[in-house]
Amino acid sequence: MSAVEPARILIVDDNRAIHEDFRKILLGGKRDETLQNLEASVFGNPVVARETASEFRLDSAYQGAEALSLVQIAHDDRKPYSVAFVDMRMPPGWDGLETIEHLWDVDPEIQIVICSAYSDYDWQNLITRLGHSDKLLVLKKPFEMIEVLQCTHALSSKWRIERALREHVDSLEKDVSDRTLGLEAANKQLRHLVTHDSLTSLPNRVLLDDRMGQAIAHAERAGEGFAVCVLDLDRFKLINDSLGHHAGDELLKHVARRLTSAVRSVDTAARLGGDEFVLIINQARVPADAEQVAHKVLEALQVSMQIGDLEVHTSASIGIAFYPGDGTTIDALYAHADAAMYCAKQRGGSGVECFASTMSLATEERVRFEGDLHRALKLQQFELRYQPKYNAATKKIHSVEALIRWQHPERGLLLPDQFIPLAEESGLIVPIGEWVLREACRQVGAWQDQGLPTLRIAVNISALQFRRLDLVDTVRRALADAGVDAKYLEIELTETAVMSDPAESLDILERLSRMGVIVSVDDFGTGYSSMSYLRRFPIDKLKIDRSFIANAMTSADDASIVRAIISLAHGLRLKVVAEGVENAEQVAFLQDLGCDQYQGFYFSQPVESAVFEEMLRSGNAPEFERAEDEAERTHSRLAVSTNRQRRVSTRL
């Protein structure tokens, strides 16, 4: 028995002397030697003489109703009785059997010992009436002390064991129940994820196909039509690149809520991925029904959305295909709605177009062109052209920029603006960009091996490529494989790419700069830049966007912008490169402003490597920027700053 929590024993008898007998037996002092020997003969082990006062706690009741009250209180207090000794006859109240029935109604686990000097009921009658043979014993009066002790010890121990077992089973059942509920919740979530978009909670392609199948079946039975709308956000990539992917995700959530509120309850709004959504407009008896819903969606999207601290405006291009006129299968309806959407986007966006048979040809051509782009890398159809950058002071080649071209087997030589947007949209820009980087480094290494004048080569890095975690390692491997020092590589990044996530950009730029790689901001002036970040970034050059150079001679505003950029850059100790220089007038204008380097058709178009090699051999040898000492000529600003700090520390 536990010494911590004594077993609670209830004595129910109308004879007060009986209560005293129980107390002497169960709560008395040391037991005599005869009692110890008797107990040893029963249990088979010597019994050490001990105090028994702590083993049991006795309560008395003199009538059945009083006993019931005590049992009820003990049960409510969660301190139940383990054993009850109940007299069979307790006039004038309940007899023993009626008392036991009431006690078991409250606490069916209590162990009962019937105490009686009479034989009013035989054992079978007791069991028939009470029905609890495993919790019931009969003790004939007068009883021996050892009988009372044995009953009390055995039944209270049995009660404790049963209670511990019940608690353990209850605990196991609770664990099983909790885990079952957890599994049910997880399964429910998994089922939801299988059929819904994780970002917006809209139906995904799986559920969309099911809904379209149901719509087709219903339309066939009812002889009705319905419409499928493909919706694509306009300029979403600009928002995603300039504000970051988190802002892009928030915008998509806003759009999803707007779509859900704009369509009717019988319609379906789904997200396929990226910024592409699909609507099923049921009961569209005439095209005007679906067009009305589509225009309602456009109106809902025109209301500005709060993304962080910015107020963002967005629009969408929507293409509509009708069942059964534009298709009777899921694939046909979706393909034709997508073709109409693409047509709406080509016409400037923020509009609605219904499918026409001529649109499918344009869509098929686009799909075919994307397939060609996938194969171009494997078939080595990409080439690099090299456009020199000239030092404004020496009029000699300072460095060169590598520009990609696609030698298409049917369309001929394609310029970047003819395929780079598709490469960015499809994600192919990452492997294509890595090929450009590796090929440029290889070419510089080849020129050095030929003994040609060493020079730096500039490579454009897309926003998607810049955000990849392995960019720095990719650059390092490309340089190592080509055997080229990092100081001969310049990376050009757009202003929007750099500013989309300033904190992350700072980390990437610092790692590149520590390698010794030069970093330039391309198309400067077309995005937005925080002056504080521009000052903190380890940037070496600003490239003025060609649109400002082209209009500087005719637009006072553009001329002022060019002047301001050059002044800003020099104030931050940055070099300035003007791209798109095409005439002497522009050169003179830039020279007056102190522009450091020029690039454009006025000096040279992008040429093949062999032509550029001849330019180098012709005596037009490159010169690097003049710096305060030789060690700083080809290193990035961060590397230069680190070197200076080391030299100061050495002097100290």
pLDDT tens per residue, range 46-82: 544 444 446 899 999 999 999 999 999 999 999 999 9
Does pTM surpass 0.85? no
- The mean pLDDT value for 263-276 works out to 91
CA-wise closest residue to 447 among 475, 483, 397, 486: 483
Average pLDDT over residues 553-564: 92
241 three-state secondary structure: helix
14-28, 78-92, 348-362, 396-410: range with lowest mean pLDDT: 348-362
Average pLDDT over residues 326-339: 91
Half-sphere exposure of 587 toward its Cβ, with a 13 Å CA cutoff? 14
CA 266 to chain centre: 31
Confidence check: pLDDT of 494 > 90: no
pLDDT value at residue 533: 67
Among 158-172, 177-191, 388-402, 422-436, whose mean pLDDT is lowest?
177-191
Return d(Cα 3, Cα 55) in angstroms, integer: 6
pLDDT digits (tens, 9 = 90+) for 395-442: 888 899 999 999 999 999 999 999 998 898 788 899 999 999 999 999
pLDDT of residue 412: 94
Q: What is the mean pLDDT of the chain?
A: 85
Check whether 632 has a pLDDT greater than 60: no
Res. 627: pLDDT tops 70? no
Model confidence at 457, in pLDDT bands (50, 70, 90)? very high
How does strand 316-323 pair with strand 351-354? Answer: parallel
Inter-residue contact 611 to 576 (CB < 8 Å)? no
Distances (CA, A) of 34 to 40, 151, 323, 537: 10, 18, 102, 97
Query: Looking at the predicted structure, is the pLDDT value of residue 495 above 70?
Result: yes
Q: What is the mean pLDDT of residues 214-240?
A: 89
Name the helix (H) or strand (E) containing 343.
helix 330-346
Q: Domain 7-167 belongs to what topology?
A: Rossmann fold (3.40.50)
**Residue 473, both tokens:** 């390692």
Q: Where are the beta strands (DSSP E) in 298-357?
A: 305-307, 310-312, 316-323, 351-354
Q: What percent of the chain has pLDDT over 90?
A: 50
Query: Any idea what DSSP says for residue 176?
Result: H
Angle subtended by helix axes 502-515 and 637-651, to nearest 10: 60
Point out the least confidently predicted range of 251-260, 466-475, 499-508: 499-508
- Confidence grade of residue 560 (pLDDT, cut at 50, 70, 90): very high
Q: Using CA of residue 109, residue 110, residue 111, residue 117, what is the dihedral sign?
A: negative
Q: How far is CA 282 from CA 204, 269, 351, in A?
A: 18, 11, 21
Cβ-based neighbours of 24, under 8 Å, separated by 6 or more: none
Element (H, E) at 371: helix 357-378
pLDDT score of 134 more than 70: yes
pLDDT at res. 422: 86
**Residues 6+ away with beta carbon under 8 Å from 108:** 132
Among 531, 561, 532, 564, residue whose Cα is nearest residue 549 = 561
Angle at CA of residue 143, ends 141 and 145, nearest 5°: 160
Residue 413: helix, strand or coil by DSSP?
strand
**121-148 per-residue burial string, b: 16 or more CB within 10 A, e: under 16:** beeeebeeebebeebbbebeeebebbeb
Q: What are phi and psi of 370, to 5 degrees?
A: -65, -40
Tell me whether domains 7-167 and 379-651 share a fold: no
Q: Is the pLDDT of residue 115 over 50?
A: yes
Q: How many CB atoms lie within 10 A of CB 43?
A: 11
| CA distances in angstroms from 435 to 98, 145, 432, 459, 587, listed in the order given | 94, 99, 5, 11, 34
In this structure, of 121-125, 243-247, 429-433, the range with the lowest mean pLDDT score is 121-125
Per-position DSSP letters for 50-119, written without gaps between them: ---TTTEEEEEESSHHHHHHHHHHHHHTT---SEEEEES--TTS--HHHHHHHHHHH-TT-EEEEEESS-
Q: What's the fold here for domain 205-355?
A: Alpha-Beta Plaits (3.30.70)
pLDDT for 239 equals 80
**Interacting residues of 164 by C-beta distance below 8 A, sequence separation 6+:** none
Long-range contacts, stretch 244-249, CB < 8 angstroms, 24+ apart: 244/500, 244/501, 245/467, 247/307, 247/308, 247/310, 247/312, 249/199
Query: What b-and-e string marks burial along 160-180, b requiring 16 or more CB atoms within 10 Å of the CB?
Result: eeeeeeeeeeeeeeeeeeeee
Residue type at 518 in one-letter notation: I
Region for residue 537 given its phi and psi (left: phi exceeds 0; alpha: psi -120 to 50; beta: otherwise) = beta
Q: What is the pLDDT of residue 34?
A: 55
Separation of alpha carbons 399 and 518, rounded Å: 12
Separation between Cα atoms, residue 56 and residue 540, nearest integer Å: 88
Q: How confident is the model at residue 628 (pLDDT cuts 50, 70, 90)?
A: very low
For residues 543 and 495, give the distance between their C-alpha atoms in angstroms, rounded to a whole number: 10
**pLDDT (0 to 100) of residue 394:** 85
Start-to-end CA span in the chain (Å) = 81
In this prediction, residues 520-530 reach a mean pLDDT of: 72
DSSP string covering 486-523, please?
Answer: GGGEEEEEEHHHHHSSHHHHHHHHHHHHHHT-EEEEEE
Q: Which architecture characterizes domain 379-651 according to CATH? A: Alpha-Beta Barrel (3.20)
For residue 420, give both structure tokens.
């780079």
Of 188-197, 302-311, 521-530, 605-614, give the lowest mean pLDDT range: 521-530
Q: In terms of C-beta density within 10 A (0-12 exposed, 13-18 middle, 19 or more buried), how is residue 92 classed?
A: exposed
In sequence order, the 6+-apart residues with CB closer than 8 A to the CB of 162 are: 109
Average pLDDT over residues 618-627: 52
pLDDT tens sequence across 32-53: 555 556 556 655 555 444 444 4
Distances from the Cα of 250 to the Cα of 54, 236, 270, angstroms: 68, 12, 17
Segments making up each domain of the chain, as ranges: 7-167, 205-355, 379-651
